[in-house]
Structures are given as C-alpha cells and as structure tokens.
Amino acid sequence: MASAAPGLDLAAAAAEDPPRQAPRPVTTDESLSDHPIAPDQFDPRLETDKFEIWSYYLYYVGNNGLTLFNFAPTAFQNLLYQAAGDGTSLRFAGRERTINSIVLLSNGISFAIQIVIFLILGSFADFGTWRPNILIALSILAWGIGFGWLGIHEPSKWQIATGMYIVGLIAYQTCLTFWTAAFPGLARNTAYMREKAQAYEAGEIPRSEYDKADMFKRAELSNIAFYVQSVGEIGILAIIVGIMFGVKVNDSVENNNWGLSVLIAFATGCWMLLAIPWFLKEKRRPGEAVPAGMNIVSAGIWQLYRALRQIWKLKQSLIYLIGYFLLGDSLNTTVTVIATLQNSIIAYNTLELTYLLIVGIAAQAVGIYGFWWVQQRYSLSSKTMFNIVAINIVILDLWGMVGIWTQKFGFHNVWEVWVYQAFYGLLVCPWYSYSQIMISEVTPRGREFLFFSLFSIIGKTSSFIGPLVSSAIIDATPSGNTSTPFYFLAALSAVSCVVCIFGVDLEKSRKEQEDFLLKEQAIKDDLAGVGFSSREDVVATSGKDTIDTKL
C-alpha cells in the first residue's frame, strides 16, 4: 500500500521516522507476542486527524461508481441495442457478436489493460510519495470521460461509446484502488493506535491485543467509509431523480438517451467537488525508498517478484490468495451478467434504473453497518464475517442458474431485480470491505506493501478472466441464452467458498507469520552484525540476488 509500515525497509524507516530507541533483539526463547519485531512508528506530523479521515470518506462518496461503473455501462449497452435495431448482434472485434457478448468482452479488455497499468503505476504507490499525484491525475482522466458522455447519446456513436466505456472503467477502478491505498496508513497513524503501540512496547498489553486493536481499527475505517459512501450516494440519487423529471426521460427514446448522459455528467461533477478536500488534506506519508540500482518501475516489478517468492512460505496466505482470486472472479462476473439481464428487463428506463439503485444503495448502507455492528457487538473475527458473505455469493449464482431452465425465476422478472438489489446490498456488498480486511489478516506485519500489491494485481486479473469465459459461453450457446454463464459461475463460487471457509485457518496463519518474522529478524540481526547501515548498502555490496535470498 502507499504508506510504509516501519520495519519493512531499513532505509525507508530511517527516512520516515524520527529517531527513537531501537527495539531490543528477540532471543530464541521469546515470542513475538511479547516483543514486537516491527512495531508501528509514529511521527506527530503525520498523525491522522478527523478532518483527514472525513475528507477520505468524502472522496469515496464522490467516487461512488454512479458515473463510470453504473450509468456509463447502461448508456453503453443502451446504444448497442439501438444500433443493432431489429437484430441481436453487431460486428465487433472481427466478428458478429451478441450485445451481451460485446459488453462482457469489453469488460475483459478493460480489466486486462488494468493488469499492465497496475504493474507499472503500482510501484509509485509503494515507493516515495507519488501515490497522491497519481490519484489526482487518474481522477482528472475519469472526470474528462464522465463529462465526455454529454457528447455520446446517439446509436451511431456506439463504437466511440465502446472506447469511452473501456477507458472509463479503467479510470474508475484505478482511482478506487489508489484511494484505498491510503487506508492502512490512516488507521495505523491514529492517536488510538499510537497509544496501543506505546502500551505494547511497554509490555502492558500482549501482541494479540495489539493485533486485535489494529484489526478493528482498520475494519472500522473500511466499513465506515463504505457506510458513509452509501448514505451520501442516496442523497446524490435523490437529486438525480429530480433531474430525470426535468429532462423528461420517459417522453421519448432520445430523451432517455440524453438523460443517461446528463446523469453521468452530474455525478462526475459531484465526484470532482467531493474529491478536493482529500487532495488538500491528505498527509503525504512516505513509502519505501527505491533500492539502489533500480528505478521506480523496476522496483515495483521487483517487489511483485519478491512477493511471489515469499508467499510460498506462508501457506495460509497462499490459500486465501487462491480463494480471493476465484471468489472475486465469480462475483465480478456475476454482477456484470446480472446487470446485463437487469438492463434488458427494465428496457433501459433511466428513471426505473435510478429507483433500483436507490434501493440497492440503501440496502448496502444497512448491510455494511449491520455487518460492522454485529462484528463489534459479538466480537467476531473478520473471517467469520467474510464466510457469511462468501455463502451469500453462492446463493446469488444458484438463483441465476435456475433461470437457465425456466423463465419464471432466475433474473427474468421485474420483481426479481428489485429483490436482487436488496439482497445484494444487504448480504453481498460487505465483500468489498471484508475481503480487503482479510488480506491484512494473512499479511505479516511489516510486509503490507508486498502482499497488498500482489493481492491487488491478482484481484484485477480475476476481474477479466470470468467475463471472457462468460462471453465465450454465450457465444457458444446455440440458443444465445444469456443465463448460461451461471453454470460456470455457480460452480466457481461453490469451489472458492469451500477453499475460503475450510482452507483458511487464521490461527495457523498467525503462527506462520510469526515464524516468518522471527527468521527475518535473525537475518536482519546478521546483516547488522556485518556492519551494513542500510538496505541500500546491502544491495550495493551484494547485488539484488543476495538481498532476494535473505529477505
């Protein structure tokens, strides 16, 4: 992530933190639960305050997805259907394809491009202080695409709409990721965590209590951000309803087309205004220093290579990585398939789509707050909350699979899309918070940059495989049944659910992490005994292969 965890890099720690007494070396008969190897460091100048936290929340209220993730896909698919006229297909990417196939293929192309972007730009989020600048630049790109939809509301421009959709989705997803990159730094620089760290270092609390406080603080920021975003989005949608009546979207197809473009532009304007406080209030917490002999890009790729090498030593982390990949792939594709079915059912009626979104977002607000309340009230682990969400994803795919055999049920009726919005908001949307919290549960303290980078790239990879497979399934189906991908999705969800629920053991993971960090501390002590003053010295003297082997 963007904010360096002290102890991760000797040079980074020296650059980031004020002078302090070095922690006492841990002997072989001592436990990490008594003496932290990589305690959090605190610079008073970088302590998180309530204004910074609320500006962080406000950015998410603006980047709520209404622009390039909700209304833009609807506008895109709407223009495709109108361009096809009485037919059901258009020529795209060298052959005739159904509308749903074009949408899924465009999604796959978009996510595939994101992999390349994250491999390159991801390094900026992990090193130095470049992440805020990247977020600003990506946000400006997204705003340009959002306002650009004002000129794309005619069927003849469906090819341009395709490009706008693909680039817009890339901009939205990258903005969201680089915004999320600030989340661990915010949580671990609060006054609350500073007090916990001081108590831990003084031996007043055990490691388990410190880790629990850390987990709950990160869970609090993640869940409250999601909740505030949901409530704020409802307010924006309420204004949008008024705009819909103002442009008379129900009077004609042309008015409906124009209304979609106006909605995207209006939501983009809200995003732009709500992003400004975060750009001004975010404290630029330094990341890692670029190792000697590397540039910012090669360091990012090297970081991914290190993560791939080291995760094999953490079996529970690897199991969750597999489950996260499979379940994320299933959910991303499920949402896309259901969205295409929903748009067809309501005939792209902009006003009805807005009402559906209001129901879905209201349910989302209740769902995320409910999950967080239950977790606090009963002191449940993040794994338990994650398991509940995983089971609900399987139920969602089984619901869709029934629609392959009958038109009475399985996302074929108007009433179903209303029930879906409520079900998805209440019981599935918490995935977007708890999947991220779970990543931190299986990540060794002090190695957040490596593992969050890896999970981010794996998450983007999973986002394009499913849409491509689903598109191929639809194209290969003689009847063109758009529900057939649910065969694949239901099976994928079930397998990934089993992997996550029964394969991931957080107690074993903590032991693996402790063993990993003990061995790493021994290596650092050995390097310190040799007389290296910083990691750059080690790299310069021994070369990258040596440091890879030791660290």
What is the 3-state secondary structure of 97-134?
EEHHHHHHHHHHHHHHHHHHHHHHHHHHHHECCCHHHH
Backbone angles phi, psi at 524, to 5 degrees: -65, -40
More confident residue, 2 or 413: 413
User: pLDDT tens digit string along 157-210?
Assistant: 989 999 999 999 999 988 887 887 777 788 888 888 888 888 887 778 787 788
Instruction: Quote the pLDDT of residue 307.
Output: 65
Assess if residue 34 is contained within a domain: no
| Residue 186, token pair as written in the block | 């915010």
Q: Grade residue 46 by pLDDT with cuts at 50, 70 and 90.
A: confident
Q: Tell me which of 209-223, 264-278, 365-379 is least confident.
A: 209-223
CA 284/CA 175 separation, integer angstroms = 17
Among 31-40, 53-62, 320-329, 362-371, the minimum mean pLDDT is found in: 31-40
Structure tokens at 278: 């975060």
Q: Which pLDDT band holds residue 279 (cuts at 50, 70, 90)?
A: very high
**pLDDT score for 11:** 31
Summarize pLDDT for 447-479 with one digit per residue, the tens.
Answer: 665 676 677 777 766 666 776 777 777 777 776
What single-letter DSSP state applies at residue 6? T
Name the residue with higher pLDDT: 363 or 130. 363
**How far apart are alpha carbons 182 and 205 in whole angstroms?**
27
- CA-based nearest residue to 1, from 194, 132, 113: 132
Q: State the pLDDT confidence band at 395, using cuts at 50, 70 and 90.
A: very high
Compute the distance between CA of residue 387 and CA of residue 126 in angstroms, rounded to an integer. Answer: 30
Kindly report the length of the chain: 551
Q: Is residue 119 part of a domain?
A: yes
Q: Which two tokens stand for residue 46?
A: 């970088």
Q: What is the model's pTM?
A: 0.75
pLDDT band per the 50, 70, 90 thresholds, residue 23: very low
Q: Does the pLDDT of residue 355 top 50, yes or no?
A: yes
Pick 351 or 155 by higher pLDDT.
Answer: 155
Predicted confidence at residue 404, as pLDDT, reads 82
- pLDDT on residue 249: 83
d(CA 6, CA 448): 10
Using alpha carbons only, what angle is made at residue 282 by residues 22 and 14, rounded to the nearest 5 degrees?
20
Residue 80 pLDDT more than 60? yes
**pLDDT, position 405:** 86
User: Which residue shows structure tokens 């109108």?
Assistant: 82
- pLDDT of 298 reads 74
Angstrom distance (rounded) from CA 327 to CA 499:
9
pLDDT at 303: 65
Question: What is the pLDDT, as a whole number, of residue 439?
Answer: 81
Residue 442 tokens, joined: 């299986």
The answer to whether residue 386 is domain-embedded is yes
- H/E segment holding residue 368: helix 350-377
Least confident of 104-113, 266-275, 531-540: 531-540
CA distances 354 to 23, 264, 432, Å, are 56, 12, 22
CATH of the domain at 394: 1.20.1250.20
Residue 527 has pLDDT above 80, yes or no: no
**Residue showing tokens 């309501």:** 346
223, pLDDT greater than 60: yes
Looking at residue 126, its pLDDT comes to 67
The region, left, alpha or beta by phi > 0 then psi within -120 to 50, assigned to residue 64 is alpha
Q: What percent of the chain has pLDDT over 70?
A: 79
- Which of 90-94, 386-390, 502-506 is least confident? 90-94
With a cut of 50, say whether residue 26 has pLDDT above it.
no
pLDDT tens digits, 320-344: 989 998 898 889 888 888 887 887 7
Residue 486 pLDDT level (bands cut at 50, 70, 90): confident
DSSP designation for 44: G
Least confident of 94-98, 262-266, 541-545: 541-545
Cβ contacts of residue 307 below 8 Å, gap of 6+? 450, 451, 453, 454
Q: How is residue 191 annotated by DSSP?
A: H
Instruction: Evaluate if residue 30 carries a pLDDT over 50.
Output: no
- Sign, Cα dihedral of 103, 105, 108, 109: negative
Residue 305: closest CA among 512, 9, 545: 545
Chain Cα centroid distance, residue 306: 22
Share above pLDDT 90 across residues of the chain, in percent, rounded to a whole number: 28
C-alpha radius of gyration, the chain, whole number: 24
Highest mean pLDDT among 94-103, 366-375, 484-493: 366-375
pLDDT at 225: 93
In the numeric block, the tokens 């620089």 are attached to 189
Instruction: Say what the pLDDT of residue 445 is.
Output: 66
Establish if 180 belongs to a structural domain.
Answer: yes
Element (H, E) at 369: helix 350-377
Of 121-125, 256-260, 272-276, 429-433, give the lowest mean pLDDT range.
121-125
Pick from 506, 433, 1, 449: which is nearest to 221 by CA?
Answer: 433
Quote the pLDDT of residue 470: 77
Answer yes or no: is 5 within a domain. Answer: no
Identify the pLDDT of residue 284: 84
Is 303 part of any domain? yes
Beta-carbon contacts of residue 409 (< 8 Å; ≥ 6 apart): 399, 402, 403, 416
- CA atoms 486, 491, 495, 501: torsion sign: positive
Average pLDDT, the chain: 79
Residue 118 lies in a domain: yes
Residue 328 contacts residue 390 (beta carbons within 8 Å): no
- What is the C-alpha separation between 153 and 146, in angstroms, rounded? 13
Say how many C-beta atoms besides its own lie within 10 A of residue 31's C-beta.
Answer: 11
Please give the Cα distance from 344 to 347 (Å, whole number): 5
Q: Is 289 helix (H, G, I), strand (E, B) or coil?
A: coil
Which helix (H) or strand (E) segment holds residue 96: the answer is strand 95-98
SS (H, E, C) 419-475: HHHHHHHHHHCCHHHHHHHHHHHCCCCCCHHHHHHHHHHHHHHHHHHHHHHHHHHHH
Place of tokens 């969750």: 320
State the total domains in the chain: 1
246/124: higher pLDDT: 246
Could you tell me which residues come within 8 angstroms of residue 404 by beta carbon, excluding any fewer than 6 positions away?
A: 410, 481, 483, 484, 486, 487
Residue 530 has pLDDT above 50, yes or no: no
549 in a structural domain: no
- pLDDT (tens digit per residue) in 232-271: 988 998 898 899 889 888 888 889 899 999 999 999 999 9
Question: Residue 127 phi/psi, 5° resolution?
Answer: -120, 140
Q: What residues make up the domain containing 498?
A: 48-525
